[in-house]
Amino acid sequence: MAERRCIKGKKGNLLGFVVGAEPYLTHFHGGNPQAFKTNIPLYLEAFCQYQITPNVALTPGLVWLTAPNQDNSNGSDVIATLRTTFTF
Protein backbone atom coordinates (compact mmCIF):
# COMPACT_ATOMS: atom_id res chain seq x y z
CA MET A 1 0.00 0.00 0.00
CA ALA A 2 1.32 3.46 -0.91
CA GLU A 3 2.21 5.87 1.85
CA ARG A 4 0.04 8.97 2.18
CA ARG A 5 1.88 12.09 3.31
CA CYS A 6 0.46 15.57 3.40
CA ILE A 7 0.66 17.94 6.32
CA LYS A 8 4.14 18.28 7.76
CA GLY A 9 5.02 15.06 5.94
CA LYS A 10 3.50 12.85 8.63
CA LYS A 11 2.62 9.39 7.38
CA GLY A 12 -1.14 8.89 7.06
CA ASN A 13 -2.15 12.57 6.64
CA LEU A 14 -4.29 13.31 3.60
CA LEU A 15 -5.62 16.49 1.95
CA GLY A 16 -8.51 16.15 -0.48
CA PHE A 17 -10.84 18.16 -2.70
CA VAL A 18 -14.03 17.01 -4.43
CA VAL A 19 -15.88 19.00 -7.11
CA GLY A 20 -18.96 17.83 -8.97
CA ALA A 21 -22.52 18.56 -10.03
CA GLU A 22 -25.41 17.05 -8.15
CA PRO A 23 -28.11 15.33 -10.22
CA TYR A 24 -30.46 17.86 -11.82
CA LEU A 25 -33.34 17.93 -14.28
CA THR A 26 -32.78 19.51 -17.71
CA HIS A 27 -35.92 18.45 -19.61
CA PHE A 28 -39.36 17.24 -18.59
CA HIS A 29 -41.50 15.14 -20.95
CA GLY A 30 -44.94 13.95 -19.90
CA GLY A 31 -47.50 15.02 -17.34
CA ASN A 32 -48.14 18.73 -17.09
CA PRO A 33 -44.81 20.30 -18.12
CA GLN A 34 -43.98 23.53 -16.36
CA ALA A 35 -41.16 25.94 -16.97
CA PHE A 36 -38.33 25.46 -14.49
CA LYS A 37 -34.89 26.89 -13.95
CA THR A 38 -31.89 24.83 -14.95
CA ASN A 39 -29.19 26.27 -12.71
CA ILE A 40 -26.54 23.62 -12.14
CA PRO A 41 -26.20 22.68 -8.46
CA LEU A 42 -22.51 22.24 -7.64
CA TYR A 43 -20.98 20.17 -4.84
CA LEU A 44 -17.59 21.28 -3.49
CA GLU A 45 -15.83 19.55 -0.62
CA ALA A 46 -12.47 19.98 1.10
CA PHE A 47 -11.10 17.78 3.87
CA CYS A 48 -7.85 17.01 5.65
CA GLN A 49 -7.21 13.77 7.50
CA TYR A 50 -4.87 14.05 10.48
CA GLN A 51 -3.34 10.81 11.71
CA ILE A 52 -3.41 11.31 15.50
CA THR A 53 -1.99 7.87 16.36
CA PRO A 54 -1.37 4.81 14.17
CA ASN A 55 -4.95 3.67 14.98
CA VAL A 56 -6.87 6.98 15.21
CA ALA A 57 -7.45 9.57 12.47
CA LEU A 58 -9.42 12.82 12.68
CA THR A 59 -10.91 14.26 9.47
CA PRO A 60 -12.48 17.75 9.53
CA GLY A 61 -14.11 18.95 6.33
CA LEU A 62 -16.34 21.51 4.65
CA VAL A 63 -19.04 20.90 2.04
CA TRP A 64 -20.45 23.78 -0.03
CA LEU A 65 -23.67 23.22 -2.01
CA THR A 66 -24.53 25.88 -4.60
CA ALA A 67 -27.98 26.39 -6.17
CA PRO A 68 -29.99 24.08 -3.88
CA ASN A 69 -33.08 22.69 -5.61
CA GLN A 70 -31.54 23.74 -8.93
CA ASP A 71 -32.23 27.43 -8.25
CA ASN A 72 -29.55 30.12 -7.80
CA SER A 73 -32.02 32.34 -5.91
CA ASN A 74 -31.84 29.84 -3.01
CA GLY A 75 -28.95 30.55 -0.69
CA SER A 76 -25.92 28.29 -0.75
CA ASP A 77 -25.54 25.70 1.99
CA VAL A 78 -22.31 25.09 3.91
CA ILE A 79 -21.92 21.94 5.99
CA ALA A 80 -19.09 21.33 8.44
CA THR A 81 -18.10 17.71 9.07
CA LEU A 82 -15.92 15.96 11.61
CA ARG A 83 -15.13 12.26 11.32
CA THR A 84 -13.06 10.10 13.64
CA THR A 85 -11.72 6.83 12.23
CA PHE A 86 -10.57 4.00 14.47
CA THR A 87 -8.47 1.24 12.87
CA PHE A 88 -8.10 -2.11 14.61
Look at residues 24, 88, 13, 16 and name the one whose alpha carbon lies nearest to residue 49.
13
- pTM equals 0.72
Report the distance separating Cα 26 and Cα 70, nearest Å.
10
Give the model's pLDDT for residue 38: 76
Q: pLDDT, tens digit, for every residue of 6-35?
A: 555 578 889 999 999 988 887 777 666 666
The domain segmentation of the chain, as residue ranges, is 7-22+37-86
Cα–Cα distance, 33 to 11 (Å, whole number) = 55
